[in-house]
Structure 1
Amino acid sequence: MAGNASETGNQGYRTYVLFVLILVYIFNFIDRQILGILAPSIKAELNLSDSDLGWLGGWAFALFYTLMGVPIAMLADRYSRTWIITVSLAVWSGFTALCGTANGFWQLFLYRLGVGVGEAGGVAPAYSLISDYFPPHTRARALAAYSFGIPIGMGLGVLGGGLIAHQIGWRWAFIICGLVGLLLAPLLKLTVREPVRGGLDNVVAKPKPASLGQVIATLKTKPSFWLLAFGASSSSIMGYGLAFWLPSFFQRSHGMSLVDTTLFFSAIIFIGGLAGIWLGGWLGDRLGAGNKANYARLPAVAFLISLPFFFIGVNVSSQTLMFFTFIVPQALSLLWAGPVLSSVQHLVAPSMRATASAIFLFINNLIGIGFGTWFLGVLSDVLRAEYGQDSLRYSILYCLGFYLIAAILLLLASRRLDRDWHRG
């Protein structure tokens, strides 16, 4: 049942809706991130290479996650978004639990495909829901708050997965996290109502769902969308790549144990990630209100500043210095979420938001998760003959240039945002 204007205008209820969607997003990232902390244990038991792990963490998840995202988002522009997110949550949680039963590369690969199929319906419909619960002047902050699910989920995936694996094994880490996610599905469906589409955007008539061709035709006229998408995806090559490979780097190049790595990396993600995402949303709403170009300029500058910190963090020998050095770029590299996602929502009409978001996510995740995680692993294997156990360190260093590419593309996007903004 669709909600009415008074429901979406109720601050208490829409805050509750945002809280539930954040919980779902947390499990979205727990289930995609948990493989990174478990990778060394899985590699040892199943006798895998870094390239194999790159396939499992990258293409196995990203392939169907990206391919299914657009058609599911088109359904979300036409039918109940709450039902779509609920079913998606149940599917990806179920396949996460099944990962704990895998006995070889291909079985685990297929289960990770299933996780990707489920998660394809989790994010774009949620962006659309949030845009119909929060007015334009607070959307960057609302979407930034929703994006808290990224560092919290990543952090809990590392913390919970690592500690469970240490106590009872990597298989139980998958099973427990998957089953807990299944318990959340009924809460979402029973308590989150479907809001009126475009109800907070002065849309008088109920918008007619747009076809995929109409959405693409609209986006073709908006260069800023493509620059935002490819800029974000360039940063995500390293964002997702580092999230997957840093636990292995800490253990190989610094000799950390599983528990030490778990506590060390989860703290970096929690502190840096939460600070960066909230700062991005707050600054996006504050600076973007006066000049829409700032929605793209802000993350571009953040990526440029993050580069020297990442370089130092990967090269220092002191774990204490490395910890504080990594917190800064962890924050800066996630600052883009609120401003960029808010911009994408405002480049199209309300009836196109879920589909436009899915196209954005298709580009971002296919390149970021699929290519990025896989490429760092393959490059590590290629460099092993020259650098030995330190090959992963140099794989990360060589790929930091993707942040520079991201900054350039976002600066170009900033020059077009105001002209491309939807004012229907």
Structure 2
Amino acid sequence: MASAAIEREAPRYPPARAGWSLVALLTLAYVFSFIDRYILGLLIEPIKADLGMTDAQIGWVLGPAFAIFYATMGLPLGWLVDRKRRTLIVAAGIFVWSFATAISGLARSFLHLFLARMAVGVGEATLSPAAMSMISDSFPPERRSKPIAVYVAALSLGAGIASLIGSAVLTWAKTAGTIEVPLVGPVLPWQLTFFIVGLPGIALAAIFLFVREPVRRRASEDEARAGVTGNGIGDALSYVRRNAGVYGGFISLACVMAIVAYGQSFLAPVFERTHGWPPEKYAFVNAIVLLSAGPGSVFLSGVISDRMAQAGRKDAPIHMLVAGYIAMLPTAIIPMFVASPELAFVFLFFNTAAVGVVSAMAVTALLAITPSAIRGQLTAFYYMSISMTGLFLGPPTVGYLSTHVFGEADLRYAYAATCAIYALVPTLFIGPTLRAYRRQLARVA
């Protein structure tokens, strides 16, 4: 009787049109965020030349500079997402990261660029916890994989668009010197690129001030029995601690994905130093790969996962996550050893698709075993975990191995070694991870 009463009191999910409209706006915001995050990797060589930086320093700017506040702000912002108006939180975050991206173009030293990227991390920490919370409140569980996949597809869309912008700017830079910008004065092409990709986000932030968010779902009777009240961050962390085996297992697979993906920030100079491709050529070909392989694989994985779930396979997301992970590793490492840049991109095409599947299915798997009362906080914890791992270990390790071990001319070996080193332990525990996840899913379903 109590369960029936709770079901009657639960708010209805919004109409599909409203839910998908919200997903579209959140996905656009995610595209903007990833453009601002990704563009730096295409500007490595001109920034190094102008600011006198090494690969090791670039690794710190690409990784820890962004991650310091992106990680530390994650859980407090997740707590805020579970209590305050989420659309306002998103609007504030978009404004902060867009403005910080624009002022990255004013950097005149390693420290200036490092601080600007820290501010980008603060703003971007707001988006995904709020987005996943609102998407979960807009769609029932058996129809949730597809909208999540659409949102996650913004990773590839944003990176692809950033590559196109970067290719166009770098091509134009071949014939341009310094450019006069009103109120700023003369700037170099790489500096202008930051202005171009950062400032439009401020208009998007204003739009979110007028977006209506979905009604929050109440905690279910099962969640109450599990001791989840959503009263604070301690409640969320206590739940993770009680279920450390299952969360640690499949999140570690997503952490390896983040290391592989963030380490690819160095691929533009890899192709230049190894194959003689100028950055604008790499950026253009990479944009084609990202836009053709990424969104399609992410969306298709969401469709397949939803159909399997509707057919009774509630553990579909974790199995698809593992399949994507197994495909991701060789397709990241082999391209670093082939002689043909075209063949390397064939492997990277499949790698992009595999990374997309892991990205979409990991967060879908997370939501399936996470009580609604702490969903924002645990989503923040998830993104904090993979971001800290990917950003603190990915680019810095590649940069360190390049400068101090392999030599900067052999940057490609540094990336391949980074992928292999960090994948070893999580790969050995795939079997126990699957078993722990199925047990947890049976308890909360």
Same fold (TM over 0.5): yes
Change (3 A) 1:68 1:324: same
Alignment of 1:260 onto 2:281: yes
Distance 2:284 2:78 in 1: 36
Could you tell me which residue of structure 1 aligns to residue 184 of structure 2?
none
Matches within 5 A, 1:202-241: 209-222=230-243, 223-241=245-263
**Which of 92, 98, 110 is the aligned partner of 2:97?**
92
Residues 267-309 of structure 1 deviation map (CA, whole Å, 9 limit, x = unaligned): 1221221233123322332345534444223222222233333
Checking the alignment, whether the CA contact within 8 Å between 1:165 and 1:171 is kept in structure 2 is: no
Q: 1:414 aligns with which of 413, 421, 434?
A: 434
Residue correspondence of structure 1 range 391-406 to structure 2 within 5 A:
391-401=410-420, 402-406=422-426
Aligned to 1:195: 214
Segment drifting more, 289-298 vs 355-364: 289-298
Equivalence for 1:186? 206
Tell me which moved more, 91-100 or 176-185. 176-185
Write out per-residue CA displacement over residues 18-38 of structure 1, whole angstroms, 9 at most, x where no aligned residue.
000000000111111111011
Q: Map of 1:75-90 to 2, 5 A cutoff?
A: 75-90=80-95
1:172 aligns with 2:192: yes
Quick check: 1:341 aligned with 2:341? no
Residues 201/10 of structure 1: CA separation in 2 closer, same or farther (3 Å cut): farther
The answer on whether the counterparts of 1:22 and 1:147 sit within 8 Å (CA) in structure 2 is yes
- The answer on whether the counterparts of 2:223 and 2:371 sit within 8 Å (CA) in structure 1 is no
3-state DSSP of counterpart to 1:193: coil
Q: Name the structure 2 match of 1:353.
A: 375
Q: Which stretch shows the higher mean deviation, 350-359 or 225-234? A: 225-234
Given that 1:293 and 1:415 are in contact with CA atoms closer than 8 Å, whether structure 2 keeps it comes out as no
Shift of 1:136: 0.4
Kept after mapping to 2: 8 A contact 1:100/1:173: yes
Q: Which runs of 5+ in 1 are unaligned?
A: none
Q: Give per-residue Cα distances to partners, 1:170-200, cap 9 Å, x unaligned.
A: 111111111011111111221x212111169
1:363-382 Cα offsets, whole Å, 9 max, x none, are: 11001122211111111112
Q: Is the 8 A contact 1:238 1:400 kept in 2?
A: yes
> Aligned AA for 2:137?
D
Alignment partner of 2:38 out of 33, 49, 55:
33
Provide the rounded CA distance (Å) in 2 between the counterparts of 1:368 and 1:409. Answer: 19
The residue number in structure 1 matching 2:53 is 48
Deviation of the 1:355 alpha carbon: 0.2
Q: How high is the sequence identity, in percent, across the aligned residues?
A: 29
Deviation digits for residues 307-348 of structure 1 (CA, Å, limit 9, x no counterpart):
333333222222322222210121112211222211211222
> Secondary structure of the residue that 2:126 maps to in structure 1?
coil
Map 1:271-310 to 2 at 5 A.
271-288=292-309, 290-310=312-332
Query: Quick check: 2:297–2:356 contact (8 Å CA) kept in 1?
Result: yes
Structure 2 residue identity aligned to 1:196: V
Secondary structure of 1:335's partner? helix
Are the aligned partners of 1:158 and 1:265 in contact in 2 as well (CA < 8 Å)? yes
| Partner-residue secondary structure (3-state), 1:23 | helix
Q: What displacement does 1:5 show? A: 5.0
Q: Distance in 1 between matches of 2:163 and 2:344?
A: 18
- Corresponding residue for residue 18 of structure 1: 23
Please say if residues 127 and 357 of structure 1, whose CA atoms lie closer than 8 Å, have aligned partners that are also in contact: yes
Q: How many angstroms does 1:241 deviate by?
A: 0.8
* Segment drifting more, 48-57 vs 262-271: 262-271
Distance 1:416 1:108 in 2: 43
Q: Would the alpha carbon gap of residues 92 and 410 (structure 1) be closer, same or farther in structure 2, given more than 3 Å must change?
A: farther
Q: Greater CA radius of gyration, 1 or 2? A: 2
Q: CA deviation at 1:144?
A: 0.9
Q: Secondary structure at the match of 1:194?
A: coil
Note if contact 2:152-2:359 (Cα within 8 Å) is conserved in structure 1: yes
Q: TM-score scaled to structure 1, two decimals?
A: 0.91
C-alpha RMSD of the superposition: 2.3
Question: Following the alignment from structure 1 to structure 2, what is the Cα–Cα distance between the partners of residues 269 and 182?
Answer: 25
